[in-house]
Structure formats: C-alpha cells, structure tokens
Structure 1
Amino acid sequence: MRILSGSIASVVPLLLGLSSAHAEQTPQQLVDALSAISVKFQVLDNQAAEGGVDCSSLGADWGACNTVNLTLTNGDTEISSGGWALYFHSIRQILKLDSDQFKITHLTGDLHRLEPTEKFGGLPAGASISLPYTGEYWQLFDTDFMPRWYAVAEGAEPKVLAATDTEDLSAFLAPIDGDNWKRNNNDNNALMKAETRFEKNKRVSALDASTLRGQIIPSPLKLDVSAEDLDISNGLALSISDLSDATRSVVREQMAAAGLNFSGEGAPIMGRVDVDGFEGDLAKSGAYHLNITSEGVDVVGYDEAGLFYGLQSMLSVLPADGSLTLPHLSVEDAPRLAYRGAFLDVARNFHSKQAVLRLLDQMAAYKLNKFHFHLSDDEGWRIEVPGLPELTEVGSKRCHDLSETTCLLPQLGSGPFSDNFGSGHFARPDYIEILKYAKARHIEVIPEIDMPAHARAAVVSMEARYQRFMSEGNEEAANEFRLLDPTDTSNTTSVQFYGPRSYLNPCLDSSKRFVTKVVGEIAAMHAEAGTPLTTWHFGGDEAKNIYLGGGYQDLNDDLVPWKGTVDKSVQDKPWEKSQACQAMVDAGTVGDVDELSSYFATEVSKILKDKGIPIMQAWQDGLKHAASAADFATDTVRVNFWDTQYWGGFDSAQDWAAKGFEVILSNPDYLYLDMPYEVNPAERGYYWATRYSDEAKVFSFAPNNLPQNAETSVDRDGNFFTAKSDKPWPGATGISAQLWSETVRTDAQMDAMIFPRLLSVAERAWHRAAWEQDYEPGREYIGGETTHVDHDALRADWNHFANLVGKRELARLDRGGVSYRLPVPGATLADGKLKANTALPGLAIEYSTDGGSSWQTYDAATPPAVATPVHLRTKSPDGTRTSRVEILQ
C-alpha cells in the first residue's frame, strides 16, 4: 500500500502568483507532469578545492568538495509556477546551489528537497535548466548517485520521475571522465580500463587441468592426490552416522544438486565422528580426515561439524565437467580460526529470505561458520518483535510521510513508496526458518541490533508507539519503551547526517526495558528453532556528532584551508543536553557523555547475562571507554575490529587483545565487501576505506601478522605505507567479511558484491598460507622497499587459487543460483590483433566489433585482427550472464 502524509503542505508551501495554465491543473496533473522531467548529472571537478573552490568556507569535511552540473529537462507539459518539490537522494551533502530559481534543503540522511523559489521563471515544455552545485567530499563512482527522484505537490500522490526509476545509473548520470576518478592530486591508484586491466591480469596464467585435479577450497592442512579415480556413476551408498537429521538432509540435497544419485549398489560413502586420531593442530572443532580410494569414500570428523566439512571437501573435488568420478586422495584438515564469518546488512536496504538462505548455502560449502545478521540501523528495522508491532509497522517501511508516523522517510534510492527493497522485514517464522537452515549447515546466527547510535528506525518506531498510547490516555504504556528523553535538546548529527533521533538514549530505564524485551523475544525465536542464542551483537559504533570531528574547525579558530569551517558552539555531543544523562554525569556514573556508549554496553551485558547469553560482541569503537573485557558481565566479549591497516590498524588491534577481548578482524580495506572490486567509476560501492578490494587483494590478507600487509597492499590513494608494532599479539579469534548495503539495493547486486570475494575470505579464515609470516614485535614492513614476504610464493598461490575459482568454483556458484560478479576483461592491440585476458582463468571472453550488436568468442590461440573500438565482456560458465562491457578504444 502507498501511504501518504497529510503534512505535506507544511513543507511544500503553495506559492502565490500561479499562472492561469497552472491553476487549471489539478495537483495530480502537476505531479504527473513533473514526473516526466528527466535528470542528468555531470561531475565537473572532484578536486574542487585544488581547482580554486573555497570548500573550507562552505563547511566541507576536511576541506574536500566537488562540483556537479545538474540538468533538468522538462517533458511535454509546461511547468509554469511553484507549489511543488522534487525529492532526491544524495549521499553527499549539498553545500551550495548556484541558482536563484531553486533552493535545496537537506531533510535527513541522504534525502534532499529541490523546490522553486519566488524567482522561478517556469520551465517550458521540452526546455532544460542547468543547476550547478557544490557537494561535500567526492563523487568518484557512479553509485554515489542514487535513483528514484520523486515529485510532490499538496493534495497529490507522489510520483517517481520515470527517467530515474531504474538501476541503470547511466540513464541519469553522464560518464565520470577525465581525472574525476581521482580523489586528489596525490591519488596514485591505477584507473582500470582495458589496457591497464590487461597488464594486471597478466599476473595470472592458465594452469593445466591436471594441476587442479583434487584441489580443495579452502585449502586443507595436508592433501595427497593420487592418479586413480573412484567411479561413482552407479550412484552412492550412504552410510553416514553422527549427523543430525537436518544436516543429513542437507548433505543428500547437496549431492543430488551435484548430479549424484543414491543406490545400494553404488560406491560406499562412510562417515562418522571419532576423536581418536586427532592430535595437535587437528584436535579442534571442524577437523576431519577424508580418504577416497577404490574402496569408496571414508570421512571421519572430530565432531559433527568436522564430519560435515569433510563431506563438503568431497563434493568440492567433483570434476567441473560433470563427470561422475572422484580422485583418489587423502586429507587431514582443521580450521585455522574458530570464527569464520560473513556479515550481511539488511537494514540499509532489505534483502530477501531467499537471498539469505542462498548465502548460507555457500557459507557452508566453503566452511564459514558465523553469520552476523545486521537487523537494524537508521534506515530500517528488519525483524518482528512480538509486543512491539511498531518496529515493523513503522520501522521496516520507508515512504513519503514527513511526519514519520507511518514509516521512515525514504533513503538510499528507495523513492516515496514502501513497495521495494527499501522496505521489508523478517516475520517471526521467517527468522526461525533462517535459524534452522543455518543450524543444519553448522552456522551460528549472530543477530545485531545496533545501539545506541544507528538506532533511528527503533527510535522513530517507539515514538509512534508513544504517540499511540498517549492518544489513548495511557501514559505509563507510552513511556514503557520510549527511547528519547524529551528534555534532550542536543544538536547532533550522525556520520550519515541523521539528527538526534539517530541515537537511543542510554540513560533511560525505558531504553533498558526495550533492550530486555527485544533480546528476550529474539532469544525465544532461537530457542524455538532449537539453536540457543549464545552470541548477541550490541553494535555500538559511531556514537558521535560528525561536526565535532577532526575534519571541521570552529569559525573562531585560526583557520586552515584543509578543514571545514562550522560554528561548533551550536554543536553538541550526543545526549549532552539530556537531563537524564547529565544527572548520571553529575552522580559520577560516567565521567562524560562520551563514555555513555561503553556504559550502555556494560548495562546490556548484564541483561545478556540474566538471559543466559554468554557472549557479547560489538564494533570496537563502541567499547573504547571500557578498561577491559572484565568490565562486562558476559563470559566473553568480542570486538569486530574495523580500523583500516594504513590508518594504524596494524598496531591498534593488539590493544584490544591486550584488554582481554576476542578480536574478530573486520578491516574495511580488506574485508568490507561493499567496497568496489576495482578502480573504475562503473563499479559499485563506497570507498572511504579503499578504492578497491578484488579477490586477489582479499586473498593476500595476513590476519595474524597485520604489519605484513604493508608489503602487499597500498593505502586508499594507491600509495605505499609503513607498518610496525612493538606490542604482543596473541592472534585473532577470527575474521569476518562485511557487506553493508547502502549502494546494494537488489538481491542480484548483493550476490555480485559478496561473490566471488567471499571465497578468498574463506581461504584466509581456514588456511594459513606458507607466505604468511609469523608476527614479530618490532619488525617493520615498508611498502615498496622491504621484502620480508615471499612475493613469488604469494603470486604462485594466488595463480593456483584464481584458476580453481575460474575453472571450477564459478560453475558451482552457477548451479547454486548465485549472481556473482564476472570480472571485466582486459585487452590491448598488438600488431593489429586483439589480445584479451581475464583475472580468473577459464572464463570465456566475447568481443564485438559492431558496438555490441553481435558477439564472437575470443580465442587466445588465434587472436583476431580488429580495429578499435572493440567491445569486450566475459561470460559465465553456464552461459546465462555476462560481465560489464569494456570498450577498447
């Protein structure tokens, strides 16, 4: 249902002086006419400060801004007067609009409003108007621009501008060209186009199939492969004990999906759990022995998880061509890290239950065992909580309701209606189904309800609840779970530009009651699913006011051009003016409001302890004011460590381990899968931490010797950095790959951002490579200078892995229905002949010499003679999908 607000008139005032033509239009006719306007963005200068724009005086964080030309082209109906507005999404704050006919107002988050002023001169049919503006930071990738503008007028239903109602961003964005792919003049990244990509792809080469035979991803501790094969064409005779019925069903389904059948006369598969024979590094959960001989398959697990993983390894060595044989081999294997995780954000944009189940399938196949489920944020609440219906009735929906009593305001390209990816939630049965599905695959689901910041969906929902009960005269019920202190007048802006409602108040008893209620109801779902809730993720990140950060200076300071100039006297820390919080400061409960996030974490840990939940997890900055893990009531406290390597993460991770926290490495420059695959504006993703993270870079991550990464990587600007730590480092408990969903609106986009990079994550979580060095306090790694790492061994290891992915694993992902990203080919001309390659050997490359009207398969053995331009793409093994098209000019 499309829900409209009766309060539109309060923010879209009707202006005087309407023409007679306009007066004859109904409001809906006006909106219909506005919806025919086409929009075109053209990035003019992404280094505007270096081009002479005074970004500092405009208040740009770190004095960085960009200039853009926005062109509106009218349809076939004249727009002659005011009384209307266009709403649009921009993740960059708009600092200045160079037009006296329009004004732009920021509402909250990324939602902006463009409306005519009294000087608006009209927009004739077919006419265009140029609106140059200055925005904060940079707009380096197409996905910085969001779809689904919409038109509004009083008394009419909003309508999306048709030209922007698309995931094809080129429909309203001109190519980001010239040097506008660069962040600044010190940006030494390489722009990935056909020729540069061709040179990069030369680092890999095709390996013979015999080299890949019997190889397993993730790599086992010990693997011996023999020349003989076991014929399984007559089917399999399963004799597997010590698996739950649910897990046994999963295994049978996996075998059937791989084309295997079951017959009492088939090759025997024996499986059991037996701890005998597991010693040393093998004596741990998930360990297994696998033997395939002429007698059949024998799998022994250290525990049920190990038995399951051994069967996954057996399935992984099935030939890619579909032949029903298994190579004779012997495996001894155990996981490197206890926590091998994948994180999915369904709050920023919702993703379907089917997409979640598909992800769990692949996590199981690659032996990942922790699913970190981000179920709430500023932009959405995604799980049903019995007794708090407003959380899903209001907080799970986005629509154009300026009062936010029926839904949250639109964000991130969702437009004015709640019938798309911007809205949605998991009903209680859905979540229980996900839990059971994960349990059968030996995956723990770790729910995250983010607090006390990133809590806007919860806060707005509980305000709707408050208003409902107050209207009924029930003040006690209204205040039971209220998350705002009505005395709090703090002027606070979150990192994503939300106001004070982005933070629940940690000083209220009602906030603790809310947490107790939510934890209890989610724990009950886990209990009903037969998988007790053992880990709760508190969130805790970014409880701050962005305008009090280091990138801004007060207008009364000695001003410098590399910081934004703002009036800090009107800015407050979160909860600074809350009477409830000030009372806690006055009583000495906390030393300052800065400490409230960590204080609230300790209070939540007590709730968890009371509920019998032994582990609390959080983003590390949410616990920064705690002296140690001993401050918390739970038996164990984990932190997702998300400092970037080049900004000191190679050293600061050790501090958390020294305080007794279990460290889950989640470094954004390697493990945030919402970052682009390569430096090219056509790629998807945010890039505050890195300009790219491809499969090879993730593969090169050394989780237990963080300084080593300085030798194998570069910083955000493509420059070398130096890393050294003198501190003790006991090693990480685990690593986790994160997909945040701000630019990821569809399930297919979700798949493409996660896969195939997640395979590299699985490799590093399970297997320590020979080129990874032991951590030595005091050893310095200098990018471009030191050679402590065996780079030849790293390249050879990656080449082997890339061949396995390209020649076998992508076909497996095809069979699993995964819409993974296909690498864009590289190409060049040599003596008039086309030379093309791909980052993952084995993929078919197609080329076109007629602008993409017809395609031919590229054969490297007989390169064709062509003239530029040539269009190129790769094709999936099942032939159903192709990569983004590259043009060799």
Structure 2
Amino acid sequence: MTIKLTALASFIALAVTGCATQGNDDEKVVKKLANNLDVTYEIVTQHGAEEGLQCKTLGAEWASCDLINLTLENNGPAVTGTDWKIYFSSIRQILEVQNDQFKVTHVTGDLHTLEPTEKFDGFAEGEKVVIPYIGEYWTLFENDYMPRAYVTSGDAAPQTIKSTDSVNPADYLVPLKGDQFKRVKADNNVLATAETRFEKNKDINVLATEEVAATIVPTPLSTKLTGNTVSLANGIKISNFTLPADMMAAVNERLDVLGVNTKGQYPVKVSLLPGSFAKDQQIAGAYKLDVTPAGATVIGFDDQGAFYGMQSLISLMSTGAKNSIPTLEVTDAPRFDYRGVMVDVGRNFHSKEVILRTLDQMAAYKMNKFHFHLSDDEGWRVEIPGLPELTDIGGKRCHDLSETSCLLPQLGSGPTSDNDGSGYYSKQDYLDILKYAKARGIEVIPEIDMPAHARAAVVAMEARYKRLAAEGKMDEANEYRLMDPQDTSNVTTVQFYDKRSFINPCMDSSAKFVDKVITEIQAMHKEAGMPLNTWHFGGDEAKNIKLNAGFQDINAADQTAWTGSIDQSKQDKPYQKSPMCQKLIAEGVVSDYDRLPSYFAERVSEVVNGKGIENFQAWQDGLKYSKDSTAFKTDNVRVNFWDVLYWGGGASAYEWADKGYDVVVSNPDYVYMDMPYEVDPSERGYYWATRATDTRKMFGFAPENLPQNAETSLDRDGNGFASKGTVKSKGFHGLSAQLWSETVGNDEQYEYMVFPRVLAAAERAWHKGEWENEYQVGVEYSQDSKLVNKKALHDEWQRFANVLGQRELAKLDAAGIQYRVPVPGAKIENGKLAMNVSMPGLKLQYSTDAGKTWNTYDAKAQPTVTGKVEIRAVSGDGKRFSRVTSL
C-alpha cells in the first residue's frame, strides 16, 4: 500500500512537473517574442489593382487593395517552436499572405492572429523576416496601424510586443513616400508640407488687437460699438437677479479659470425681461448685453439667455487680471435650437474629467446638446443597476477567447484591461455629468446604439444567460437575452463583426432589455434634476457589407472589373436565418428582412413614448424603411443626417425634412471631428468621408444650404463636385459636430481632435454668415458656379482666426484643454525664411540645429537660414507646441 501511494505520488509529481515545464516553456516563448521582436510596417503600393494585384479575385470591396510588408526582426535568442500566436489589429481585411511560413486568421472585428505554418523554420537571432500581405482598400494615415500587438502561447499570460506598445504609430512604421498618400492615382489632394501650408495661410493677415477686441465668439446677431474701453483690472461684481444657483456657480467657475476677479468693482447686472425682446427674437437663449463705462447689463429672454449673455461678456475678456473690454450693445439669439456635440466613448473610453472639460467649453461657446454615444460593438460605458454584466464584461476588453470576463481586444487596446478600451461611468459618474451639464444649460442625450453596433451588449447578455442558466434560473436567464441562439446567419458588419453585433429585433427579451435600460437611465436623469427629454436609438449600419454594391457574386453572368468577386450565396442579411424573425415575416408583421431595423426603431419609440420622453432620435439610415415621422410614437422624431454631400447628401437632407423629421445636420465631410485636420499621414483620424477637415473648413460650412458647399470645398479625392437640391426646404433643426473614437485612444488625443475646430462648429450652429446663400431648389453649385461671396467668407474667417490666435486659444490653455496647435507654413527664398500660421497671433519658432535651440520667428526681420530648418508653432500660453516639420 505504501509502495503504491509512493508510486502514485511520483506519477503525480512527474505530471505536475511536466505541466510546469510546458508552462515555463510557453512563458519563455511569449517573453522572447514580446521583448525581442521588432515589428515594422511598410507600404509597397496603395494602388494594388493598378499595380497588377488580383484585388477583384481576392474579394476586395470595389476591387481595391494594397500591398504591405510586415517585417519581424528578432533582436533576441532564436525562436524555433510553432506553438505561439501574435494577435494584432487591422482595420482592413487581410486578403492574402505572401509568405508560406505564416498564416493570418480573422478573429472578430479588427482582431487577427498571425501564426506559423508547418513550413516555419524559426526566427534566428538577428534575423529579419518579411511577410508581405494584401489588404483591402488602402492605408493612408499612420493611425491605420493600431498599436499593442501581443503574443500568446499555451496557457502563458499574453504579453504586448514592446516595439508596438506606443501611442505614436511612427515608432513602428516606415514613413509613406512618393504618391503613397494618394488613395488612387487620380487622387488630387495636396500633401500638407511647410510650403503648401504657407500657400494656404498666406491670405490670412494678422489683425490689430483693437480690431478683434469687440469680437464675440460665436458671433451675435447685432453688435454696436459705442466707442469706449472699460478696464477690468479691479475685477467685476455681479448682481444676479435671475440665474439659478448652479448656473451662477458655473459662470463664476469660468471667470475664475480665466483669472478674472469676481469680487471686484466693475458692476455687472444680470436679469430677466422677456417682454423687452422683439417678437422675432423671443427665442430660447436670446439675450441683450450692454457694456458701458458705468457697468454692464445682461438681460435674458430666459435663464438660458441670461447665461449666454454672461458668456458673451466673458468672451470679450482675455485671460489674466489686466483685462479691458470695449463698450458695446449686443442683441442676440441662436440660429438653431439644437447646437450639439456628439462624443463616442464606446470604441475607446474617455474619462469623466475630459467630458466635464468639454461641457465647460460647450457652455462657453453656447452649445446646448451633448449627444453621449454610450455603447457600441467595442464597449458599454454606463452602469445599469440590475445588469452588472453590461459594464463588468461589456465595459472591459482583454484577452479572453470565451468572452465571459471581458470583450476581446479591439483597436489596439492590448491583452489586458488596463487600457483605453476599458472603462465605464458608474451611476454616480453619470449623475455628476448630468448635474454638471444642467448647470451649463446643456441637455444630455444618451445613445444606446441598436440594433447594430451592439456587440458589447449582446456578448454581455450572453454571459449573463450562461451564468443564470448554470444556476438553473432559465426564466431569468432568458429575460434580457439579445441573440436568437438558433440564428445561423452569416453576416459581416461594417467593422467586420458577425451576427453577435446585432440585437435581434424579433425577440420579446430584446424589447424588455430596452425597457430596462431606458427605465434605469431615465431614473438617473430624474435624480440629477435633468429630465430625460430625448432618447437616441442609434440605428445606423444594420447591414451585411458583403451584400453591398462593392461586391459581386462570383457566379454572376455580367462580371464587372471594379467590384470584388465573392460567393454571395453564402451571405445572409441580418436575422435572415433567425427562426424568430422568419416567423415574424411569415406572419406579415414585417414585410422583409431589410425592414427589421426600422420596425425595431418604431417599436422602441413606443417604449420611449410610454415613458413620457418627448423626442426620439436616430441616425437617419436606421429609419430609412419607415414611412415617415408619423410611423413613430413620440411627439418629435429627430435624425442625425450623415450622408456625405458629394455622394448625394446635398439633396437627400431636404427629403428627410420633407418627411417630417427634425433634421440635425451632422455631415461627415464637414463636422466629423474624427476626420484628419489635413492631408498629412501624421495626422490622426479615419478618412472615408474626407481627407481633411480643419477649423477653416468647418467654419466655412453652410449647414442650411448644403449644395453651396460644392463651391467652397472638394470631395475626398481633392476634386470638385456638383450639388443641387430637388425638394423645397422645410428647414433644419440643428447642427451637430461628431467625434467617433476608433483612432482616439486617450484624453489627450480626444482634445486634440475636438479643439479648436469645435469652436467653428459652435459659430455655424449659432450664427449664419453673410456669405451663406438661401437654399433654392434646383440651383446647382460647383467649383465653377461663382454664386458664393467668397470675399465675405474670407473676411469672416480672417477675423475668427485672429480671435482664436490672439485670445481664445489662451482660454483653452487656461482651462487645461490640450488642443491641436496648428502646424505652421514656411518657405525659404534667397536664403530668407518666411513663416505663417492659420491662426495669427500664435508665436512661431524655427531651429537650424535639429531642435537643439529654438528661435522666435520675427516676420519683419525674415531671418537668413541655411541647411535643414525645423519649424513649429507655440500654444497661446507658450507651454505646448505644434508638430515639428522641416524644409
């Protein structure tokens, strides 16, 4: 007996030792690869089809593909084993790997694996291995290459490859060269360089300080200067007769941030007198401001107007104690009722603190709608009492192939949950945000995106189902389930997820889930003293991209050269193989699968209306199969209109208004803040709608006469286009600027993308420029139409740009906003350096010794330079700098 026990113990010991040895080997492999692999991406060609690649037969959408060399250099000891994988993000589908020692497998979304095949002969010490691969479309900006690739092997903990663990993609990229910044050979975009920036900026002159002193941002309806100046060196003293305590506290906080003494001498009286406003100015938010040597008077049509009047008074001020402002009389009212900012925190999470800073700036520039995109495929970001999985699992990304503890990594978030992809707002966080917004007159509009872009919710509720089913609580397990377990539909979403990206609209449990989430969020709004007035349904992109026009069936009789060939017989529409949806269609409740998302929107609107919520809002494509706004139960139905103008949006926006929808102009090619500032691969952003949207372009957007923009801007390839409306305008409800966060990983990147161009969006939402023509049916605009008063547009922009450079950017500095400092332009002629910047007033610097010393540029002196010259602009407070470029 003793001998047998000893033998058994020895056997167990050997088994455990064997497991430990294997585990140690796995850990060693992971550590070797993570620490020693130097990963580099290099574009070979962006124009695969034109260079002879078989983009069409590889199934690339629109038969468009590129060729990239992925190089792995082993800077450590040799690796010979094959039991390892590298997980990495690719925002493009990978169609072919041209090195038979490796294979790439798509996991979900942008997550892929690279692993060795049986032909792998190891990484020798110091060896470089090139892995050419063909990807769909093109990769034009550095941030297309996501960070934090990581290694796994067996049960060893995954580790991030150090060479990719950087927020700066340039650390693992070979810079683009030649025409590689061009989407196609016919791309006419101009690459941003020191010289091209100089040409673009040269029509903007520095205005004298006194010329911009009376400029309020955003521009009022009427400003009359009365010829004097008031010193605020001794501070101000506010007598408040109308503003609620929380709004008054917000005013004082703004003054304190700018360094203005609020316990001083200059009297400021704030009151309410709605009867003093002309009939056409009796609008929510209207105000009057009178600044005299004896004191300032702010009169509001309502509390919001009085608050905005104070913001206009503050707008005249500079930072610091030595303020002086001109005497003037202002009468003002907003252009649009809806002046919004949308922030996506689903793709990547952003802190409560950066949201509060954004609300501060929205209030300062009179924006009143904060559209909070709280869920998407990649994350669920708000605590819902009673559904902890939504945030415990849906609010976290990490390497868990079962996805029972977290979502799989996306967008370069890496293998652990201490990353930009993880995080959520607790109930208290959300209450804090609501109260902060309320004190600034800003409505918070929560968006829970559905039925598409809902993977975080679907996966979380599947985890909840498994947990409760294991406990034998089947009724409870099924209560909020969002996926038909018998649905076998083969679907690929816009961002390469499968059917688990969709909430199933045919299940009663989906409706129960919606009811639960709305109930809990509405309760939070009530607790914060901000009633939930608007519910945003989302609704966008509920489709299978493999059935788009960019693909054709491989067996189609009429084959075209410009579409990708795939076997479309294996593709399904969303829910097509869901027995629950098949039953709904068989019963005639819904006519076909295409109409299911709009059917679900109508059903959710019943829930919203039943809770006394006035407004139902969605991205317009989510409602496209509904008859018109009368198909929904709420008093008002709003749509964020996001058609691209050069693809027909200049006409279709008016069609949506004609159907009774309140249209919120949200065009990607003008007011999406996730698009790059300029055509420079170093800039951040996606670029499917436009290659560049800087502050000047956003300022020059005509939101009510959409066709007009064809005369003042170009399409994404830098070419002109024509636009005209075909339906009489019933007017638009508002304007919203959007920040999607796929490429925006942290708060610093967030503020870089939003500021300062959101100030231009605020200007357009509040004020109609003199150069904006009235919309007329059938009037066509193009680069040749000559219908726009471009001198008036130039003059307004020049003043606005000077106000930013001379005054407003310093206020952003004071508020701790890490805005984008514009990259300056420069040229050298006859050895003399000339520099300029898009926002005059900012200091410019140059270096002739590779950045060891920086000299302040003096336009009058025009210094003599030789050799390589580096240039940069300096923030308003002198503490931050633009990206350095050279010439």
Could you state the TM-score of these two structures normalised by the residue count of structure 2? 0.97
1:238-249 paired onto structure 2 within 5 Å: 238-249=238-249
Q: Where does residue 13 of structure 1 map in the other structure?
A: none
CA contact (8 A) 1:398 1:418 kept: yes
Q: Where does residue 7 of structure 1 map in the other structure?
A: none
Deviation at 1:398, TM superposition (A): 0.3
* C-alpha distance in structure 2 between counterparts of 1:575 and 1:25, whole Å: 45
CA contact (8 A) 2:267 2:295 kept: yes
Change (3 A) 1:322 1:796: farther
Q: Where does residue 3 of structure 1 map in the other structure?
A: none
For residues 115-151 of structure 1, what are the alpha-carbon distances to aligned partners after superposition, in whole Å with 9 as ceiling and x for unaligned? Answer: 0111110101221100011100010000100000101
Residue type at the aligned position of 1:777 = V
Q: Where does residue 618 of structure 2 map in the other structure?
A: 618
SS at structure 1 position matched to 2:519: helix
Q: Where does residue 8 of structure 1 map in the other structure?
A: none
* C-alpha distance in structure 1 between counterparts of 2:644 and 2:726, whole Å: 18
Residue type at the aligned position of 2:181 = W
Q: Where does residue 7 of structure 2 map in the other structure?
A: none
* C-alpha distance in structure 1 between counterparts of 2:22 and 2:402, whole Å: 28
SS at structure 1 position matched to 2:646: helix
Q: Where does residue 501 of structure 1 map in the other structure?
A: 500
CA contact (8 A) 1:281 1:334 kept: no
Deviation at 1:321, TM superposition (A): 6.8
CA contact (8 A) 1:320 1:807 kept: no
* C-alpha distance in structure 2 between counterparts of 1:525 and 1:320, whole Å: 36
Q: Where does residue 111 of structure 2 map in the other structure?
A: 111
Deviation at 1:60, TM superposition (A): 0.5
* C-alpha distance in structure 1 between counterparts of 2:212 and 2:869, whole Å: 33
Residue type at the aligned position of 2:266 = A
Residue type at the aligned position of 1:114 = L
Deviation at 1:372, TM superposition (A): 0.2
Q: Where does residue 191 of structure 1 map in the other structure?
A: 191
Q: Where does residue 729 of structure 2 map in the other structure?
A: 729
Deviation at 1:102, TM superposition (A): 0.6
CA contact (8 A) 2:482 2:507 kept: yes
SS at structure 2 position matched to 1:562: coil
CA contact (8 A) 1:342 1:370 kept: yes
Deviation at 1:320, TM superposition (A): 5.3
* C-alpha distance in structure 1 between counterparts of 2:681 and 2:87, whole Å: 25
SS at structure 2 position matched to 1:251: helix
1:427-438 paired onto structure 2 within 5 Å: 427-438=426-437
Query: CA RMSD, aligned part only?
Result: 1.1
* C-alpha distance in structure 2 between counterparts of 1:546 and 1:780, whole Å: 32
CA contact (8 A) 2:38 2:72 kept: yes
Residue type at the aligned position of 1:206 = V
Q: Where does residue 91 of structure 2 map in the other structure?
A: 91
Q: Where does residue 39 of structure 1 map in the other structure?
A: 39
Residue type at the aligned position of 1:538 = F
1:635-714 paired onto structure 2 within 5 Å: 635-714=635-714
Q: Where does residue 324 of structure 1 map in the other structure?
A: 323
For residues 342-375 of structure 1, what are the alpha-carbon distances to aligned partners after superposition, in whole Å with 9 as ceiling and x for unaligned? Answer: 0000000000000000000000000000000000
Deviation at 1:279, TM superposition (A): 1.4
SS at structure 2 position matched to 1:290: strand
* C-alpha distance in structure 1 between counterparts of 2:134 and 2:67, whole Å: 4
* C-alpha distance in structure 2 between counterparts of 1:188 and 1:255, whole Å: 46
1:39-438 paired onto structure 2 within 5 Å: 39-263=39-263, 266-319=265-318, 322-438=321-437
For residues 765-789 of structure 1, what are the alpha-carbon distances to aligned partners after superposition, in whole Å with 9 as ceiling and x for unaligned? Answer: 0000111001111111122x11110
1:757 aligns with 2:769: no
1:818-837 paired onto structure 2 within 5 Å: 818-837=817-836
Deviation at 1:24, TM superposition (A): 10
Q: Where does residue 17 of structure 1 map in the other structure?
A: none
* C-alpha distance in structure 2 between counterparts of 1:625 and 1:597, whole Å: 8
Residue type at the aligned position of 2:88 = F
* C-alpha distance in structure 2 between counterparts of 1:274 and 1:779, whole Å: 42
Change (3 A) 1:208 1:480: same
Q: Where does residue 785 of structure 2 map in the other structure?
A: 786
* C-alpha distance in structure 1 between counterparts of 2:734 and 2:352, whole Å: 26
Deviation at 1:831, TM superposition (A): 0.8
* C-alpha distance in structure 2 between counterparts of 1:138 and 1:113, whole Å: 20
Name the stretch that deviates more: 669-678 or 249-258. 249-258
Change (3 A) 1:743 1:24: closer
Deviation at 1:26, TM superposition (A): 2.0
Q: Where does residue 718 of structure 2 map in the other structure?
A: 718
Name the stretch that deviates more: 364-373 or 30-39. 30-39
1:811-850 paired onto structure 2 within 5 Å: 811-850=810-849
Q: Where does residue 879 of structure 2 map in the other structure?
A: 880
Deviation at 1:530, TM superposition (A): 0.4
Residue type at the aligned position of 1:345 = D
Residue type at the aligned position of 2:90 = S
* C-alpha distance in structure 1 between counterparts of 2:648 and 2:155, whole Å: 54
Change (3 A) 1:24 1:653: closer
SS at structure 2 position matched to 1:350: coil
* C-alpha distance in structure 2 between counterparts of 1:25 and 1:508, whole Å: 48
Change (3 A) 1:635 1:23: closer
Deviation at 1:203, TM superposition (A): 2.2
Deviation at 1:821, TM superposition (A): 0.4
Q: Where does residue 13 of structure 2 map in the other structure?
A: none
SS at structure 2 position matched to 1:35: helix
Task: Give me the identity figure in percent.
Answer: 53
For residues 176-197 of structure 1, what are the alpha-carbon distances to aligned partners after superposition, in whole Å with 9 as ceiling and x for unaligned? Answer: 1110100002211111111111
> Please, which runs of 5 or more residues in structure 1 have no aligned partner?
1-21
1:460 aligns with 2:463: no
Name the stretch that deviates more: 502-511 or 244-253. 244-253
CA contact (8 A) 2:206 2:802 kept: yes
* C-alpha distance in structure 2 between counterparts of 1:673 and 1:648, whole Å: 21
* C-alpha distance in structure 2 between counterparts of 1:62 and 1:243, whole Å: 57
Q: Where does residue 16 of structure 2 map in the other structure?
A: none
Residue type at the aligned position of 1:802 = A
1:604 aligns with 2:604: yes
Residue type at the aligned position of 1:211 = E
> Please, which runs of 5 or more residues in structure 2 have no aligned partner?
1-20
* C-alpha distance in structure 2 between counterparts of 1:23 and 1:366, whole Å: 61
1:537 aligns with 2:536: yes
CA contact (8 A) 1:526 1:532 kept: yes
CA contact (8 A) 2:261 2:321 kept: no
* C-alpha distance in structure 2 between counterparts of 1:97 and 1:606, whole Å: 50
User: Aligned residues, how many?
Assistant: 865
Deviation at 1:230, TM superposition (A): 2.0
* C-alpha distance in structure 1 between counterparts of 2:791 and 2:320, whole Å: 31
CA contact (8 A) 1:33 1:75 kept: no
Deviation at 1:658, TM superposition (A): 0.8
* C-alpha distance in structure 2 between counterparts of 1:553 and 1:322, whole Å: 67
Q: Where does residue 523 of structure 2 map in the other structure?
A: 524
CA contact (8 A) 2:232 2:322 kept: no
Residue type at the aligned position of 1:249 = A
* C-alpha distance in structure 2 between counterparts of 1:54 and 1:109, whole Å: 24
For residues 501-558 of structure 1, what are the alpha-carbon distances to aligned partners after superposition, in whole Å with 9 as ceiling and x for unaligned? Answer: 0001000000000000000000000000001100000000000000000100100112
Residue type at the aligned position of 1:154 = G
Deviation at 1:322, TM superposition (A): 4.9
Deviation at 1:237, TM superposition (A): 2.1
SS at structure 1 position matched to 2:143: helix
* C-alpha distance in structure 2 between counterparts of 1:516 and 1:279, whole Å: 44
Residue type at the aligned position of 1:676 = P
Name the stretch that deviates more: 434-443 or 828-837. 828-837
Deviation at 1:258, TM superposition (A): 2.1
Q: Where does residue 12 of structure 2 map in the other structure?
A: none
SS at structure 2 position matched to 1:276: helix
